[in-house]
Structure 1
Amino acid sequence: MNLFKRAWWRLRGHLGKTVMLVGLFCVICTLVLSGFLIQSAAARAAESAKHSVGVVATMQLDLNALINSGRTEQPDGSRGGMIGAEGDLSRSLVDKVCESSVVTKCNYTKDGVAAPTDQVKLHQPVPPPAGQDSGGVDFFKADGIRDLNGVSAFRNGDSKIVSGSGIKPDSKSDMVVIEERVAKDNKLKVGDKVKLNANVQNPDGRLSTKETGFTVIGIYRSNIGDTGTYVPPMAAPANQIYVTPDGATRLDGKELKAGGGVVKEATFTLRDPSDLGRLKKDAEAAGVDLKIFPLSVNDKHYQALVGPISKTADFASVTVWLVAVAGTVILALIIASNMRERRKELGILLSLGEKKPKLLGQHLVEVVACAVLAIGFAAAGSQLLSQAIGDQLLSGEVSSAKESAAAEAGRPDPSDPTGGANKQDGPEVAPIDEMDVRLGAADITKVGLTGLGIAALATIVPGIRILRLNPRDILTKGD
């Protein structure tokens, strides 16, 4: 008799067991399909995030590589070795790298300090306690930047220009932006010519000062107020000034060369981490020695954006595997039990000359038929279930990420005398807190193959025993 007919009669004749098997398969396929849908939604969100926030590649001096290259100045007598011009990353060279087709945004910085003069004094609302030394930090903190809008304090709104304009890529080397408290203390306004003391290193290694002229092009306001207690002047938020990288080079007491000022660190925003290879080629073509000034990727913002949804996808992936394995084991036990109950049927069919593979095939057809029905039911309801489960899991991960970020932000920095009042870096992107679950043909195909694979394993593994027995053993021993 045709094994398909026998399978059909068996399914119709035992509707209760058929419904139970379809129901069990439906639960398994629904959970598996939900896991696939959550994974797909997370992958789409992560891909979208790559293009929306990008990743940041950083270029800066590797001092060990420079020393190993032998390009540093050798020690002379009591003087130590000097880094020399080989350790300088020129602004014009970085500007060439910024023109790379894979760079969506670039910025560079140069740390520096400026000593006060009779014309421009530090903002110090609380004098130091009697007998306490300032520790040699009676300076303005002068950051040389390419674009003031790229500074985190201005991006997140902690600081804003209240008069004039900020530093821009085409700003001249004598332009400076000061905080309004310093402007008020020194009665300065936009357009005023001021002098700041640059720090010059003499040939004998000693430091001296040199008055350097600047023009105030902007006055900004920081929402970080005075602490009400004494802090070293350079740590006070009001004593933060901004100049161009060329201006910061001048404050180092160095003459500007044809390539412009010296840059300490350059950052390049890329659309995708895979663009790093192309950026390296463009940097080498521009003349950068990547052994001395290596490029490294910082995907902090990208990870902050996709961290929770990636963890949700990982959880869904683990769920898929657990459900698949557990479902296979449970179905195998049910089918094995079912085969023991049908021992007489199997023995009679074998006695009538039916081939053992066909008996196994009949069981496989029955289980596959139940699986196909279950896959159809799962496809009908999985999208709504996946959306609900995914949103709930993602909500928990987002809450956990925000709590971790808050705890990290609230942790005091013992090296910061302001107790964190001058800290500007923080989360600049909010993690993805929703996912778009879509049911597609590829997802149905994957769950279909998974469901059929589970059906095959759950049937074949216990059914192998049938191929090892003869009719007499089955009818007399029964198992």
Structure 2
Amino acid sequence: MNLFKRAWWRLWCHPGKTVMLVGLFFVICTLVLSGFLIRSAAARASVDAKSSVGAVATMQLDLNAYLAAGKGGKGGGPGEAAGQLGADADMRRVLVDKLCGSPVVAGCNYTKDGVAGPTDQVKVHQPVPPPPGQSDELDFFKADGVRDLRAAKDFRNGDSKMVSGSGITPDSRSDMVVIEERVAKANRLKAGDRVQLNANIQKPDGRLTTRKTGFVVAGVYRNSTADPRTYVSPMQAPSNQIYVSADGATRLDGRKVGADGGYVRSATFTLRDPGDLDRLRDDAEAAGLDPKIYPLSVNDKQYKTLVGPIGRTADFASLTVWLVAVAGTVILALIIASNLRERRKEMGILLSLGEKKPKLLGQHLAEVGACAVLAIGFAAAGSQFIAQGVGDRLLSGEVSSARNSAADEAPGQLLTDTTGGGLKEDTEKVEPIDAIEIELGAGDIGAVGATGLGIAALATIVPGIRVLRLHPRDILTKGD
């Protein structure tokens, strides 16, 4: 009789064992397919997050590498004192603009910290008068040179917004300045007015002097932070924050803006893909920025925040697939071994009638394989709903844990701050991905089918090897 017919009659005549095998395979295939679906959904979400957020690479001076290269102020240049940073410590704005045009960069900005001294025309805003005898030597505006004002932290998070005029853009001239509304009202200034601010120039002997520098008020913005109720230094008051271009900040340092533009202290680049950092380093070197003196460090906190919980959910799903596959193989192998032991007389009779041992093993494979195929079909019909429920439950737990951990964390510094300036992290806060979309595809069904049939074959062949070693007389005379 054909081995497939024997397998069919065996399954049909023993419905209890057939249902048991189908049920066991259904549980195994459902768990395995759910794991595949969750893992695939997490991979798709990670790709989407990678394209939407990317990673932020920061470029700034590495002081140790700068000094090791034999650079630094030796007291020979204008405004340089011995032991101080030289004029080449800052990056040229034109070179950074070249790097901003790299195909791997989705967006960029740069900053040049500085201060501007008040004049008779533009005075600092002091909501609370200084105490008697307080010196006014530190009455400065905090002047930030930026490439694009919209990318500045306060404007990104909505704490500041423009109320008139225009902000700083990559095309802004070096004499454009944006001031806060309270300063504009106190000094009766509006967009388009010409003003003078004091540039602070450091002499070779270390002393500071000032020089009046002309600017045009490009726009007026409003900061939502209220005035302090007690006296603070004007530079600490949010109203005394002004914005200029990088070239404008260079002018406030008392330095000339040459054909190569002004200077930049640090630059940030949003990569299209976190894996493009090496390409960005090559582009930086090609643009003329020494990667040793101006290293790039990636802050991919946004990307990790987004995909952290869903990534851990995918890892758990992958672990579940392996555990279920191994445990299912072991359990099925034990069940089939017990079944083979019960069918010793059947096998002995078939062998004595001339049946080949491989065909005898093939019959058992056909029986188990048929149960596996039925179970795979049932699992494909219901696994999408099961995987969606399990995935949502697992992900919600990971998201809750991630939010609790984030709430306990204190604001930290960037990964690398080689200048010793205590540069604070300036990345937008994002919420982790809290939804998972399960999609059942032909590839997932194929994967679970291959896994299920592999488990069936392995669980049958391992105990069935003993069948190939048996002789009919040993089976029929020695019993168990």
Q: Deviations over 1:11-63 (max 9, x none)?
A: 11111111111111111111111111111122122222222223333322222
Cα distance in 1 for partners of 2:163, 2:150 equals 14
Which residue number corresponds to residue 420 of structure 1? Answer: none
Q: Are residue 150 (structure 1) and residue 179 (structure 2) matched?
A: no
The residue correspondences of 1:431-450 to structure 2 (distance < 5 A) are 431-450=432-451
Q: Which of 59, 73, 82 lines up with 2:84 in the alignment? A: 82
Q: Given the superposition, is the C-alpha separation of residues 226 and 73 from structure 1 closer, same or farther in structure 2, using an over 3 Å criterion?
A: closer
Cα distance in 2 for partners of 1:129, 1:95 equals 45
CA apart distance, 1:447: 0.7
Q: Which of 104, 107, 116 lines up with 1:105 in the alignment? A: 107
Give the TM-score of the pair, scaled to structure 2.
Answer: 0.88
Q: Given the superposition, is the C-alpha separation of residues 328 and 132 from structure 1 closer, same or farther in structure 2, using an over 3 Å criterion?
A: farther
8 Å CA contact retained: 1:175, 1:216? yes
Q: Given the superposition, is the C-alpha separation of residues 58 and 478 from structure 1 closer, same or farther in structure 2, using an over 3 Å criterion?
A: farther
Q: Given the superposition, is the C-alpha separation of residues 426 and 401 from structure 1 closer, same or farther in structure 2, using an over 3 Å criterion?
A: farther
Q: Give the secondary structure class of the aligned counterpart of 2:309.
A: helix
Query: Which residue identity is paired with 1:10?
Result: R
Cα distance in 2 for partners of 1:290, 1:270 equals 17
CA apart distance, 1:477: 5.6
8 Å CA contact retained: 1:301, 1:428? yes
CA apart distance, 1:128: 5.5
Which residue number corresponds to residue 328 of structure 1? Answer: 329
Q: Given the superposition, is the C-alpha separation of residues 409 and 158 from structure 1 closer, same or farther in structure 2, using an over 3 Å criterion?
A: farther
> Which shifted more, 236-245 or 22-31?
236-245
Cα distance in 2 for partners of 1:333, 1:137 equals 83
Query: Which residue identity is paired with 1:213?
Result: G
Q: Are residue 256 (structure 1) and residue 257 (structure 2) matched?
A: yes
Query: Which residue identity is paired with 1:41?
Result: A
8 Å CA contact retained: 1:198, 1:250? yes
Q: Given the superposition, is the C-alpha separation of residues 290 and 396 from structure 1 closer, same or farther in structure 2, using an over 3 Å criterion?
A: same
Q: Deviations over 1:115-160 (max 9, x none)?
A: 33343333333355678889x8543221110111111221221110
CA apart distance, 1:96: 1.7
Q: Given the superposition, is the C-alpha separation of residues 291 and 235 from structure 1 closer, same or farther in structure 2, using an over 3 Å criterion?
A: same
Cα distance in 1 for partners of 2:208, 2:305 equals 43
Cα distance in 2 for partners of 1:143, 1:256 equals 16
CA apart distance, 1:470: 4.2
Which residue number corresponds to residue 54 of structure 2? Answer: 54
Q: Given the superposition, is the C-alpha separation of residues 308 and 132 from structure 1 closer, same or farther in structure 2, using an over 3 Å criterion?
A: farther
Which residue number corresponds to residue 193 of structure 1? Answer: 194
Query: Which residue identity is paired with 1:97?
Result: L
CA apart distance, 1:100: 2.4
Cα distance in 2 for partners of 1:39, 1:194 equals 60
Q: Deviations over 1:162-214 (max 9, x none)?
A: 12211111111121112222223333322333332322111112223333222
Q: Are residue 392 (structure 1) and residue 393 (structure 2) matched?
A: yes
8 Å CA contact retained: 1:153, 1:424? no
The residue correspondences of 1:198-213 to structure 2 (distance < 5 A) are 198-213=199-214
Q: Please report the RMSD computed on the Cα atoms of aligned residues, expressed in angstroms.
A: 2.8
Cα distance in 2 for partners of 1:329, 1:137 equals 77
Which residue number corresponds to residue 28 of structure 2? Answer: 28
> Which shifted more, 323-332 or 185-194?
185-194
Unaligned ranges ≥5, structure 2? 414-423
Q: Given the superposition, is the C-alpha separation of residues 424 and 317 from structure 1 closer, same or farther in structure 2, using an over 3 Å criterion?
A: closer
CA apart distance, 1:443: 1.0
8 Å CA contact retained: 2:302, 2:430? yes
Q: Are residue 451 (structure 1) and residue 452 (structure 2) matched?
A: yes
Which residue number corresponds to residue 307 of structure 1? Answer: 308
> Which shifted more, 214-223 or 232-241?
232-241
Q: Given the superposition, is the C-alpha separation of residues 75 and 200 from structure 1 closer, same or farther in structure 2, using an over 3 Å criterion?
A: closer
Q: Deviations over 1:300-323 (max 9, x none)?
A: 222222222222222211121121
The residue correspondences of 1:217-296 to structure 2 (distance < 5 A) are 217-296=218-297
Cα distance in 1 for partners of 2:411, 2:95 equals 39
Q: Given the superposition, is the C-alpha separation of residues 139 and 33 from structure 1 closer, same or farther in structure 2, using an over 3 Å criterion?
A: same
Q: Given the superposition, is the C-alpha separation of residues 476 and 156 from structure 1 closer, same or farther in structure 2, using an over 3 Å criterion?
A: farther
Cα distance in 1 for partners of 2:199, 2:382 equals 71
8 Å CA contact retained: 2:302, 2:427? no
Q: Given the superposition, is the C-alpha separation of residues 230 and 3 from structure 1 closer, same or farther in structure 2, using an over 3 Å criterion?
A: farther
Q: Which of 124, 127, 135 lines up with 2:126 in the alignment? A: 124
> Which shifted more, 22-31 or 209-218?
209-218
Cα distance in 1 for partners of 2:451, 2:328 equals 11
8 Å CA contact retained: 2:412, 2:425? no
CA apart distance, 1:427: 4.1
Q: Give the secondary structure class of the aligned counterpart of 2:409.
A: helix
Q: Given the superposition, is the C-alpha separation of residues 269 and 205 from structure 1 closer, same or farther in structure 2, using an over 3 Å criterion?
A: same
Query: Which residue identity is paired with 1:228?
Result: R
CA apart distance, 1:468: 4.2
8 Å CA contact retained: 2:115, 2:142? yes
Q: Given the superposition, is the C-alpha separation of residues 328 and 232 from structure 1 closer, same or farther in structure 2, using an over 3 Å criterion?
A: farther
8 Å CA contact retained: 2:127, 2:228? no
Which residue number corresponds to residue 318 of structure 1? Answer: 319
Q: Deviations over 1:275-327 (max 9, x none)?
A: 33443343333322222223333322222222222222222111211211221
Unaligned ranges ≥5, structure 1? 413-422
Q: Deviations over 1:350-381 (max 9, x none)?
A: 44444443333222221111111111111111
8 Å CA contact retained: 1:34, 1:385? yes
> Which shifted more, 465-474 or 46-55?
465-474
Which residue number corresponds to residue 92 of structure 1? Answer: 94
Q: Given the superposition, is the C-alpha separation of residues 133 and 456 from structure 1 closer, same or farther in structure 2, using an over 3 Å criterion?
A: farther
8 Å CA contact retained: 2:37, 2:439? yes
Query: Which residue identity is paired with 1:380?
Result: A
Q: Give the secondary structure class of the aligned counterpart of 2:434.
A: coil
Give the TM-score of the pair, scaled to structure 1.
Answer: 0.88
Q: Given the superposition, is the C-alpha separation of residues 258 and 478 from structure 1 closer, same or farther in structure 2, using an over 3 Å criterion?
A: farther
Q: Give the secondary structure class of the aligned counterpart of 1:112.
A: strand
Q: Give the secondary structure class of the aligned counterpart of 1:111.
A: strand
